[in-house]
Chain A
């Protein structure tokens, strides 16, 4: 659970008997081959990680591309990533609730409320600067999370019911603020540019290289520290391979974004929103993987009683998780408004929240708590967006999109359940 690349167990072919000393044997796998073989054994054992969703994404891509050659064009792929941003952000929020074995049904309309608050405050009549409007919206969302989380943890109400009430209540508040007009235009350029603005070509390269550099430094430092400490660690060749793989992915993303995707006028450059999603992903991955707080979320999701006996302040951790969940939804709401350059009563928070749960689960997060990562939300969000995008290209109706999304969700859960049957005992 500790980080994106989990440590792989030692290859243990030579230790069939009950009393062996594998702890005492050399901590570094002999070769990259051994290490990969151990990883393969683990995957076969049901620890599939993000493999199913990545595989699913490839499958969906090949399928749509074969049906409509426009699917994998640069313009559409960038468009798809932008479409996925709202789902991915919402799903990352939902992961906090799901990790606890809870659910937050309200985040669709919490996102809506965030959009409305932002839009309202940047109206020329109010004249708030963009950053203050966004900050105010995010604070409102965090407070909503605090309120709902407190009801759940202090009074002991089920999260399903509290957040279902939240779904209705915040929808009401949103409609009330929007009033008779039913919609609000956003004239603030910076807010609109979150989604429609792009970096320069050079800017894209610089940001990507900085991000990959940070990842490389972190990975390299951790792996060498583990090797120096005499702990099990991937061999150097694999550490380098990991970094190179991420670099290749980064280069591909920048090339994709820097290609001209305009139809009438040239459009190129990395949309800001993609960077925003990566930043949120990095921060939440750090919080969940490297901080005590994150560790305690997993512990509570795994065995709340054990966490309580370990002296963990369960109530505080759970409430904070709901705050972070709503807060992340607030970010999604700002992105949603930025994309439409407006906000209206057409926002369907019910569908959004169900998509966010579906995205998290498709990405590999367990509904029963204790298993999941921020990354799952991002990948699941991309799958959901890919289905909507691909079906749209093929001219299918919304009805068909719902049906296909439902089937993908079912397939994802089935893959997880079947893979887990191979585990020694299910978590």
Chain B
């Protein structure tokens, strides 16, 4: 049913035939009698921002957790760079290069930026923490992402603004040579300027060649940065298309009813 409604395009918007970094084929997940995901197909190519839209309860969070190893799927197949992927824990996913930035960011307020970015993966030199090396690496990563609004990388995270905290959480995910960064509602708690800052950062990640999966139900954000949009409804993938072929109304229709009769005007809704 899913594939019948809106055809899956194995090609990127550029039309070049290439293997997506992550490919879900017929993935299902249930919790007891509750079917959270049904026969889901999704491609997440490198170098692009794939937005996952869906109403509350559509299965977005379950999908993140399925990919990041918290809830391995019951059925179907996940391909990582073309090869079947079987991750059972977030640690295994991280080893492959999958990093997830959850909505609560998972930062320790009492630690500084460097300490947070390296938490759990500290560099040591003869058993002692190698602060210089970690600080340099953190600074380089932040600078390369143009996250330059923080006064000092030795500032406690408690003293950062919401957008800065989000940026630190994202930079933390990027630090590890990750190939896929999954973000859960990164702008949910942010003001206008901070949202713009974070979205620009999301864009830069994709421009660096990372695959980015952005989970959001904020249409402004989705159309601002996404190259491709996938819409989940009641655990099923109802659409997966380049963003240029969609507009807000189509996405909202898909989210709420599972179908849309509209056809997007070329370069819709003039952002």
Contact = CB atoms under 8 A, between A and B. Distances in A.
A23 B148 contact: yes
A23 B110 contact: no
Interface string B63-82: 00000000000000000000
A7 B108 contact: no
A295 B122 contact: yes
B135 A231 contact: yes
Nearest to B123: A292
B230 interface: no
Nearest to B94: A311
Contacts of A1: 110-112, 115
A15 B122 CA distance: 31
Contact of B90 (A309, A426, A427): A309
B111 A423 contact: no
B154 A232 contact: yes
B151 A229 contact: no
Contacts of B90: 309, 311
Contacts of B102: 309
For A10, A45, A427, the residue with the greatest tally of chain B CB atoms inside 10 Å of its CB is A427
B111 A302 contact: yes
B159 A23 contact: no
Interface string B107-134: 1111110011001111010011101110
B264 interface: no
B128 to A, nearest CB: 5
Given A231-B135, A312-B120, A9 B152 contact: yes
Given A226-B132, A295-B115, A20 B108 contact: no
Contacts, number: 126
A370 B122 contact: no
Interface stretch (B13-21, B136-144, B233-241): B136-144
A299 B102 CA distance: 17
A229 B135 CA distance: 10
A21 B150 CA distance: 8
Q: Interface residue tally of chain B, by bracket?
A: 35 or more
A424 B158 contact: yes
B112 to A, nearest CB: 7
B154 A7 contact: yes
Interface in A303-338: 303, 305-307, 309-312
Contacts of B127: 291
Contacts of B148: 19-24
Q: Could you tell me the dominant secondary structure of chain A's interface residues?
A: loop
A365 B90 CA distance: 34
A427 B149 contact: no
A371 interface: yes
B91 to A, nearest CB: 5
A154 interface: no
Nearest to B194: A18
B193 to A, nearest CB: 7
Interface string A190-230: 00000000000000000000000000000000000110011
A22 B151 contact: yes
A63 B153 CA distance: 42
B149 A426 contact: no
A92 to B, nearest CB: 19
A12 interface: yes
A309 B106 contact: yes
A-B complex: 3 closest residue pairs judged by Cβ atoms: A310-B120, A302-B108, A370-B110
Given A22-B150, A232-B152, A425-B159, 17 more contacts: A1-B111, A6-B154, A23-B143, A225-B132, A229-B135, A229-B136, A231-B139, A290-B129, A292-B122, A301-B110, A302-B110, A306-B107, A309-B106, A310-B106, A423-B158, A427-B110, A427-B156
8 contacts: A19-B148, A19-B149, A20-B149, A229-B135, A231-B135, A292-B122, A299-B115, A311-B121
